A and B are shown apart, each in its own frame.
Chain A
Amino acid sequence: SQKIEQNSEALNIQEGKTATLTCNYTNYSPAYLQWYRQDPGRGPVFLLLIRENEKEKRKERLKVTFDTTLKQSLFHITASQPADSATYLCALVDSGYALNFGKGTSLLVTP
C-alpha cells in the first residue's frame, strides 16, 4: 500500500539553528512533491513544490531536496525563528491524481 511517513515525534530546536524534517514514501512514483505548513486550528498553507528532476529547491530560508532513488524529501529551515513553529506536512499525488498528505511533523523553535 502507499505510505507517506513523517517523523511523528516533535522536533525541538533553538532559534537560529537549522531545522531538518524528513518525508519518506513508499509505492509512489511522484512527478512532484509538495510541502505545507499548518498552524493550530487553521488550514494548511502551501510552501514549496519540487519536481522529480529538481533535486533541490530554495525559497528564502526554506530548502527542499527530493531524492527519488531514496524515496525521500528533506525540508530545511535555516536560521529558524519562533514564528516557524508549526506542523509541516509533505504531500504526494497518487496515480489517481489525489493529493495525499503525511501526518506531519511538529516543529517547535525556542528562543
Chain B
Amino acid sequence: KAGVTQTPRYLIKTRGQQVTLSCSPISGHRSVSWYQQTPGQGLQFLFEYFSETQRNKGNFPGRFSGRQFSNSRSEMNVSTLELGDSALYLCASSLGSTRGYNEQFFGPGTRLTVL
C-alpha cells in the first residue's frame, strides 16, 4: 500500500503571497489531518477533515484553511504569508472511524520557507 504523499516537498515564497499544499492519504483512509512543525512550538494541530467535512480545527488564524475532496485527497491553503509561517507542514491520514483513537500515518512533509 502506498504511503501518504505530499506535494511539493519544498517551497519558497515571499511575504504576502499565498500557498497551496497537497496531500494524498493512504487508500481507504477517510481522515486527513494537517500539522505545523517548528523548532520552537513543536508539532501543532491545524485541522482535520473527514469525508469532505472539517471535523476539527486547531488554534490558528483564518489565513490557514483547507479542504478535502471526494477521493479523500486534501489541500491546505495559507494566504497572506508571514515570516512566522516558515515551517514543516505535515499531513497525516487515518481510518478516522473512532475519533482520536486511530493511529496517524504521516507524510514526509512540505518544507515552506517564507522570505
Q: Chain B interface residue count: which class?
A: 20 to 34
Chain B residues 25 to 48 lying within 8 A of chain A, measured CB to CB, are 33, 35, 41-45, 48
What CA separation (Å) do A98 and B101 show in the bound complex? 10
- The interface residues of chain B, by DSSP majority, are classed as strand
Chain A residues 88 to 111 lying within 8 A of chain B, measured CB to CB, are 89, 93, 96-104
Q: Chain A interface residue count: which class?
A: 20 to 34
Q: B66: CB under 8 A from chain A?
A: no
Docked-complex contact B45 and A99, CB < 8 angstroms: yes
| Nearest Cβ on chain A to B27's Cβ, whole angstroms | 18
Docked-complex contact B100 and A43, CB < 8 angstroms: no
Q: A97-B48, A97-B56, A102-B42 are in contact. List 8 more A-B contacts (CB 8 A).
A: A41-B108, A43-B108, A44-B43, A44-B90, A46-B103, A97-B100, A99-B100, A103-B41
Docked-complex contact B45 and A100, CB < 8 angstroms: yes
Please give me the 8 A-B residue pairs with the lowest Cβ-Cβ distance, nearest first. A43-B106, A93-B100, A103-B42, A101-B43, A46-B103, A97-B100, A97-B99, A98-B45
Mask of A67-103 contacts with B, CB within 8 angstroms, 1/0 = 0000000000000000000000100010011111111
| Nearest Cβ on chain A to B8's Cβ, whole angstroms | 15
